[in-house]
Amino acid sequence: MKRKTNATALLVFATGAVALAAYAGEIKKEKFDDAGFVSIFDGKTLTGWHVSSKTGHGKGGRWVVEDGAITGSQDVPGNGGIVLTDKEYGDFEVALEMKNDFGPDSGLFLRSNEKGQAYQAMVDYHADGNLMGVYGEGLSGGISRRNFDFKQKVTEITPHDCPYPLPIAPADWPKLWTHGQWNELRARIVGNPPKITTWINGVRIMEFVDKEKRHPDKGGIALQVHGGGDHTREFVRYRNVRVKELDRK
């Protein structure tokens, strides 16, 4: 019994040491080659985008352009939806800047159809939510990968068990993310079954590789306002939306 206890203690110590090692050092930000990116939002109108009334989150919600940003909210309590690109994309990388209120549940949908079925880079910007995890919106398989959760304050996060560990110490979160300012989110999807990679302000947050094909090779890029509750006075805001189509090798 004593030997088993010591072994267990050693395992716990080793696991903790690995976690501490993962958080050691400065926050590592990647440098991106932005050549080939094309703007898909003109900053003035929703030209090239349309609202879908076919999702399970409502009849679409309210989507307008305000102060150079795509701004979304529920138009009446509980009524949400998505705004998505007219064009469909296959393998691509999308980058945008986000300045949402802390409360609404949103999302960056990859290869979305009119029903909102897609691989979602999470923008669950609320208590117990997550940024840039991967979720299978309306897809089979129960896909949900996140490596941290927000606490009651946007400045505090808790690590979440995940095959791709949180790359920063929770105490360093305020150094990476500043609420009320524009922060960059980025996601890449390649192949089918796809590999999905996400970043927050240049830090790689998630890598997810699906094990089976469960969705078409192409779809739109969509932004979401979640249905339910009353979020008519809370807003999601996105600007500088750009995409680079990738050649499949």
Q: Could you please report the per-residue DSSP string of 139-157?
A: -TT--EE-SEEE-SSTT-E
The pLDDT mean for the chain works out to: 91
- Reported as a pLDDT band with limits 50, 70 and 90, residue 14 is very low
157 part of a folded domain: yes
Q: What is the pLDDT of residues 109-126, one digit of tens each?
A: 999 999 999 999 999 999
Which runs of E-coded beta strand occur in 48-103?
Answer: 49-52, 62-66, 69-73, 81-85, 92-98
Report how many domains make up the chain: 1
Does residue 5 belong to any structural domain of this protein? no
Q: 65: domain CATH number?
A: 2.60.120.560
In contact, 135 and 144? CB cutoff 8 Å: yes
Mean pLDDT value across residues 81-106: 98
Domain contains 84: yes
* CA atoms of 105 and 56, how far apart (whole Å): 14
Mean pLDDT, residues 231-247: 96
pLDDT band at 248 (very low <50, low <70, confident <90, very high): low
Domain that holds residue 103: 29-245
| In-domain check, residue 22 | no
Would 187 be classed as within a structural domain?
yes
**Residue 247 confidence (pLDDT):** 79
Cβ contacts of residue 131 below 8 Å, gap of 6+? 122, 123, 124, 125, 177, 185, 200, 205
Helices (H), the chain: 2-23, 173-176
